[in-house]
């Protein structure tokens, strides 16, 4: 039989005597056979089948190596600057440039709307607007103009800028004409109004205030039908003709009335950028209030500011424009 009592109080682990408590003393008897414990290892049926049947060991599929972008990719897509410089246009910067150009286009559109009136269509405007706001267009002689005159500007508008805009006007008929045109370009643009300038002259008798003041309702109706003018606008022009006659009786001329607001000397500004040209000023606001008090129509501060620029009451040509000094010395 198997004797479980220890022969000595000292137990040995790995050949070394170890002192243990009485309850943990274990006797090692080579003649004592203890039942084998069942292995906890799970039976792998797939492995057993493979070993019995004689299948070869199948290695797992090799995963594809991750494709790393080559360092030469950007070099292939990078392009040298057109001017021959070392500047590289890496993909991604093109989108940034387009966003910058888009923001510049929107800024210029806001300036045009505020200064010259809203255009009919954004799509048509995009064909005329340039992306560089501060680029001065040059004529054949190389003389610089204001930055809102671009190579795509209509020749009629360019000629108006070079010959009339900012030049001091003292003729009552011309003052009346430019007052009407300034009111007509609200909701439109100067190019469209200038192209219809002859139609306005025919409709309003060469802007003779004495003739226009006598227009009857039948005459106004015929003008609306013939020239496609707005009823409110035509009535406003007739009322302004009557007010001009009243100013002439009181002060002698419409010219004396208008130029009295600036002490008969044009206001000379020194703007370096078209962004700084205001839509209205305190002077245009005071003139507008006085004209409204006298009964004039279509004479808001923005219209009067545009009118002041047209008749030379203020010289808003940019300093870099070749017309700036000429208009200042024309009075």
161 marked among binding-site residues: yes
Taking the C-alpha atoms of residue 146 and residue 246, their distance in angstroms, rounded to an integer, is: 37
Angle at 115 between CA 114 and CA 117, to 5 degrees: 70
Q: Which two tokens stand for residue 137?
A: 């267009």
| 271 within 8 A of 319, measured Cβ to Cβ | yes
321 marked among binding-site residues: yes
Q: Which two tokens stand for residue 92?
A: 């991604």
Taking the C-alpha atoms of residue 33 and residue 71, their distance in angstroms, rounded to an integer, is: 71
Taking the C-alpha atoms of residue 56 and residue 70, their distance in angstroms, rounded to an integer, is: 40
Bridge partner list, 144? 138
The per-residue DSSP string of 233-258 comes to HHHHHHHHHHHHHHHHHHHS-HHHHH
Among 132, 126, 134, 127, which residue's Cα sits nearest to residue 104?
Answer: 132
2 marked among binding-site residues: no
Within 10 angstroms of residue 134's Cβ, the number of other Cβ atoms is 12
Tell me which DSSP letter residue 144 carries. Answer: B
Angle at 162 between CA 156 and CA 166, to 5 degrees: 110
46 marked among binding-site residues: no
Strand-pair category, 88-89 with 16-19: unpaired
Within 10 angstroms of residue 144's Cβ, the number of other Cβ atoms is 17
Q: Which two tokens stand for residue 250?
A: 């009181």
Name every residue whose Cβ is closer than 8 Å to that of residue 190 and which is 6 or more positions away in sequence: 116, 117, 157, 160
Among 321, 266, 258, 267, which residue's Cα sits nearest to residue 287?
Answer: 258
| 301 within 8 A of 288, measured Cβ to Cβ | yes
**Which residues participate in the annotated binding site for Zn(2+)?**
146, 161, 317, 321
> Which residues does the annotation place in the binding site?
146, 161, 317, 321
């Amino acid at each position: 039989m198997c004797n479980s009592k220890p022969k000595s109080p000292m137990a040995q682990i790995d050949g070394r005597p170890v002192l243990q408590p009485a309850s943990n003393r274990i006797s090692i008897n080579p003649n004592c056979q203890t039942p084998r414990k069942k292995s906890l290892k799970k039976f792998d049926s797939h492995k057993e089948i493979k070993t019995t049947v004689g299948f070869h060991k199948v290695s797992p599929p090799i995963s594809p190596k991750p494709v790393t972008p080559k360092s030469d990719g950007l070099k292939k897509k990078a392009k040298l600057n057109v001017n021959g410089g070392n500047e590289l246009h890496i993909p991604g910067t093109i989108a940034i440039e387009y966003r910058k150009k888009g923001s510049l286009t929107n800024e210029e559109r806001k300036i045009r709307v505020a200064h010259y009136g809203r255009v009919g269509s954004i799509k048509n405007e995009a064909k005329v607007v340039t992306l560089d706001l501060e680029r001065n267009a040059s004529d054949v002689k190389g003389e610089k103009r204001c930055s809102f005159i671009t190579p795509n500007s209509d020749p009629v508008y360019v000629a108006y800028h070079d010959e009339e805009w900012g030049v001091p006007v003292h003729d009552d008929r011309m003052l009346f004409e430019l007052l009407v045109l300034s009111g007509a370009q609200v909701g439109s643009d100067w190019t469209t109004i200038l192209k219809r300038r002859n139609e306005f002259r025919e409709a309003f008798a060469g802007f003779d205030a004495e003739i226009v003041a006598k227009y009857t309702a039948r005459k106004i109706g015929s003008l609306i039908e013939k020239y496609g003018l707005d009823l409110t606008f035509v009535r406003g022009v007739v009322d302004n003709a009557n007010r001009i006659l009243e100013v002439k009786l009181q002060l002698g001329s419409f010219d004396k009335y208008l130029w009295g607001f600036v002490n008969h000397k044009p206001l000379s500004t020194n703007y370096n950028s078209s962004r700084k040209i205001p839509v209205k000023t305190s002077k245009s606001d005071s003139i507008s209030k006085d004209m409204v008090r006298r009964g004039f129509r279509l004479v808001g501060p923005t219209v009067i500011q545009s009118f002041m620029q047209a008749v030379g009451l203020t010289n808003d040509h940019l300093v870099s424009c070749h017309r700036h000094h000429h208009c200042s010395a024309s009075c």
